Amino acid sequence: MSDTGGSSHTIRALTELRQRILSGEFKGGERLFEVPLAEMLNISRTPVREAMSRLAEEGLLERAKSAGFVVREFGLDDVIDAIELRGVLEGTVARLAAERGVASEDLARITDVVNEIDACFKDNGDVDFDSYSKLNAEFHEKLAALSGSRIIQRELERVVHLPFASPSAFLPDKMQMESRRGSLELAQAQHRELIAAIKNREGARAEALAREHARTARRDLEYVMKEKAGMVQNVASLALIKT
């Protein structure tokens, strides 16, 4: 087993454990311990301990009363609240960006991302979901930076690590759903309107657009949980939700 507890091992442990939680490999309520996880990852206990502490701060783990950590279970209301919180934070980012102004090169870069998303929509009606997912995440990362507020950007980074609060949490490829192109095209139109509002220094409009845009994830969650219960098995991390 590797003997180093350096930051690179902490980052690897953090990334690996987060992925296993969000993929449903570690179930809600499951207890995790340092030693077996360190053996699984082939690293020392120190970076595992640090990674688990970070995941507890993110809200994915809870400290057990005696020793170790427990994978957190979420109620449906918890997940909806996380999505709403992302909308509030992104709305604040958009309003501050519009009010404070954004450098032309920053607007050009985020506009380039939106133009690239256009290419994900094929003439035959198909959508390149893999590219859309990556570019959509890039759009939201660049949006988070537009306000110039490291405090808000840091809080957004925390929120999007919670299950289902990510902007790409319910893209159709992950739900194995077809005929959702219209929803993605609407989201893309909102991307463009949001950039335009920031560019035109329309703070209130930018904030409203960003908050409405974030609500797409809430609508998709409710769709899966209530209208298409059979799809739950196709989204592994739904195992974290207590119903």
* Distance from C-alpha of 162 to C-alpha of 203, rounded to nearest angstrom: 27
C-alpha angle 71/169/33, rounded to 5°? 15
What is the share, in percent, of the chain residues with pLDDT greater than 90?
47
Global pTM value: 0.74
* pLDDT value for 236: 60
Q: How many CB atoms lie within 10 A of CB 103?
A: 10
* pLDDT score of 69: 93
Three-state helix/strand/coil letters over the chain? CCCCCCHHHHHHHHHHHHHHHHCCCCCCCCEECHHHHHHHHCCCHHHHHHHHHHHHHHCCEEECCCCCEEECCEEHHHHHHHHHHHHHHHHHHHHHHHHHCCCHHHHHHHHHHHHHHHCCECCCCCECHHHHHHHHHHHHHHHHHCCCCHHHHHHHHHHHCCCCCCCCCCCHHHHCCCCCHHHHHHHHHHHHHHHHHHHCCCHHHHHHHHHHHHHHHHHHHHHHHHHCHHHHHHCHHHHHEEC
pLDDT less than 50: residues of the chain? 1-5, 173-177
- Contact, 175 vs 184, CB < 8 A? no
Domains recognised in the chain with CATH numbers: 7-72 (1.10.10.10), 76-230 (1.20.120.530)
